Amino acid sequence: PQDKVWVDGKEIKAERKPRAIYMALHKPPGITCTTDRKDRDNIVDFVSHKERIFPIGRLDKASSGLILMTNDGDIVNVILRKEGKHEKEYIVTVNKPIGPDFVKRMSSGIPILGTKTLRCKIERIGLNRFKIILTQGLNQQIRRMCDYLGYKVVTLKRVRVINIKLDDLPKGAHRNLTDNEKKDLFNQIGYKTK
């Protein structure tokens, strides 16, 4: 850092590494979790941050709720690693009343996409609403699990990723993670910043 370099008599300044950004976004339905700017509903343009940031994981276009955004590519791999089994919590409304059999079958694992889903925590919180905590992230997992049991998802909202909670963040808004949230997150996933 203290070295000085000249080329053709001009001093070359080292580019400073941008400060790491860790952000929570309340993604509304209709936004696609892609960095592909050809998709007019892409999440990067929606957030319109001055730094180049990208989502950690996905929420399907029809779903809403918490998605983490960052410019730190290393943390993405740590969070998304399959064997990490990090919790993600959702509130789901389906098209008809649910009973004890639905809760039991959903929590025990459902055959989708050529595999059986891992056991999960599920709690009925209304006539046709439930809270579910997954440690797995198969493509449209909750929708496919419900469909297998003859239910259609009406709304799906992610309210927590590991220790980060959506709480009362308004739909479409984003905020930087607090120092305590980052510290707890890094501890839980065993992540060391560079």
Q: From CA 103, how far away is CA 105, in angstroms rounded?
A: 6
Query: For this structure, is 45 an active site residue?
Result: no
Q: Hey, how many other C-beta atoms are within 10 angstroms of the C-beta on 6?
A: 8
Q: From CA 14, how far away is CA 35, in angstroms rounded?
A: 28
Indicate which residue of 3, 8, 45, 60 is catalytic: 60
At which residue do the structure tokens 């209709």 appear? 30
pTM of the model: 0.88
* Backbone dihedral angles phi then psi of residue 47, each to the nearest 5 degrees: -75, -40
Q: Provide the pLDDT for residue 83.
A: 63
Q: From CA 124, how far away is CA 132, in angstroms rounded?
A: 9
Secondary structure string (H, E, C) spanning 63-84? CEEEEEEECCHHHHHHHHCHHH
Q: Provide the pLDDT for residue 13.
A: 80
Contacts 24+ apart (CB under 8 A), 111-117: 111/148, 112/138, 112/141, 112/144, 112/145, 112/148, 113/138, 113/139, 113/144, 117/141, 117/145
Give the SS3 label for residue 13: coil
- Per-residue tens of pLDDT for the chain, all 194 residues: 678 888 999 988 877 677 899 999 999 999 999 999 999 999 999 999 999 999 999 999 999 999 999 999 899 888 887 666 899 999 999 999 999 999 999 999 999 999 999 999 999 999 999 999 999 989 999 999 999 999 999 999 999 999 999 999 999 999 999 999 999 999 999 998 86
